[in-house]
Structure formats: structure tokens, C-alpha cells
Amino acid sequence: MKVFVTGVCGQLGHDVMNELAKRGYEGVGSDIQEAYAGVADGTAVTTAPYVSLDITDQTAVEKVITEIHPDVIVHCAAWTAVDMAEDDDKVAKVRAINAGGTQNIANVAKAIDAKMVYISTDYVFDGQGETPWQPDCKDYKPMNVYGQTKLEGELAVANTLSKYFIVRIAWVFGKNGKNFIKTMLKVGKNHDEVKVVNDQIGTPTYTFDLARLLVDMIETDKYGYYHATNEGGYIS
């Protein structure tokens, strides 16, 4: 099985590539940088085939993915700077990446009859209430630009393909890249007191575990919507 993975310079894409290698699958990585720019940890992803790709460039997406002709596309690349996405001068770019780029990839997946995994987020919901959101819930209510554009990406996939996995994740942390865990460790070293917000409930999710789940998924045809966190499927 050949798998094309976007966003391999980020936390999750890095671990997906390594999990594919462990299982003997052919992984081809991609990101916006000219060459792999993630953590140089000596793992499989650092020497795996890599293609520089701007997912907002429709022509480039068609050319690159068609030539690689993967059986599966795991789409991890996204604009993930939630607060910065609210800046007026960033909104168009965020939408171009999270919605437009995803549509470009879904179109090619359809043309070559590839499965597609789209990594989404709990931000498609408003976070209110006292019970966890269910994967098939359509009561979307994103509260910010990031959530809205990721929802638009979900709809692009669902309206274009039949062979898809839409996987909503939350509070991810991993070896490669910045995350809340690393930030707290750094703050703890430099400050006597650590202050954080106390009005958010979530489940930290380790990308190493998530990557194993995603590769498990693509070995099947159990398509649809999923919530994936280290608590099992708890999206609040």
C-alpha cells in the first residue's frame, strides 16, 4: 500500500510516516518546505521520499498526487494557529489552506480512486453542554475562523468522496513541533508559578498513539466520521 501524507513536518504527519514504515507500507511525505524540516530524530520520516507541495495550488496538487498515485491520502496539513487565524489579514489564507487545499486534495483522491483521511478538530462544535459530542452529530457551531474553515474542509471531503475517514482530534502533543505540553514544561522551568485557563475541558492526545489508529483505519473500509482522543473518543 502506498500512502501520501501531507504535513509531515508537523507533529502528527511525522508519526504517521513512521508508523507506515514500521508496517512495511510505502509512505511519501509532503509539506510546504523545500525539504523535510521536522525534528532530526533519525526516524524513518527523515529519510523517506518527500515532495514539497503547496496544497493551495490546485495544478500542483493534481500533478504531484496523480504522479505518485497513492492508494491512500492522509491529510494532516492545516493552518493550526487558532488565535492568529482571527487576524483580518490572515482569514483568506487560513480558508485557502484548510478549505481550499482540502478540496484540491479531495478532487484528486476522487480522480485516482484513493481513500482519504482528513484530520479535523473539536473546534467544529461550540464546546457547550455537559455531554460529549458524537461523531455523526451535525449540530456544527464553530466559534472561530479556525473551526469554521476546518468544518468547510470536512464538507469538501464528505461532499466529494465516498471513501473517506474524517477524524476529529483534540489537544494533540507529540515529539515533533510545538504543543501545550512543551509550553508548560518550558514555563515551569522559567517561572515559580504557572497560570493557565480553567474554563476548558479536553483530552490531551499523543500523536504516536493517534498515528497507530490512523494506519489501523486505512487498512479497512470502515469509512465515516470518528472522534479520536486518548480517552477513546471524548470530544467536549
Reduced DSSP (H G I as helix, E B as strand, rest coil) percent helix, strand, coil of the chain, to 5: 40, 15, 45
Question: For residue 11, which of 78, 62, 58 has the smallest C-alpha distance?
Answer: 78
For residues 160 and 75, give the distance between their C-alpha atoms in angstroms, rounded to a whole number: 15
For residues 117 and 123, give the distance between their C-alpha atoms in angstroms, rounded to a whole number: 18
- Res 236 pLDDT > 60: no
Cell 518550558 locates to 186
Query: What integer pLDDT is reported at residue 193 of this predicted model?
Result: 87
Choice between 226 and 201, residue whose per-residue pLDDT is larger: 226
Q: Cell digits for 106?
A: 479531495
Question: For residue 36, which of 54, 22, 52, 21 has the smallest C-alpha distance?
Answer: 52
Q: What is the mean pLDDT of residues 203-214?
A: 94
Fold classification of 2-227 (topology level): Rossmann fold (3.40.50)
Q: Cell digits for 101?
A: 487545499
CA distances from 23 to 19, 50, 174 (A): 6, 19, 20
Query: What integer pLDDT is reported at residue 178 of this predicted model?
Result: 78
Among the listed ranges 28-42, 57-71, 108-122, 124-138, which one has the minimum average pLDDT value? Answer: 124-138
The model's confidence at residue 132, banded by pLDDT at 50, 70 and 90, is: confident
- Res 234 pLDDT > 70: no
Query: What integer pLDDT is reported at residue 235 of this predicted model?
Result: 62
Q: Where are the domains of the chain?
A: 2-227
For residues 104 and 213, give the distance between their C-alpha atoms in angstroms, rounded to a whole number: 25
Residues with catalytic function: 146
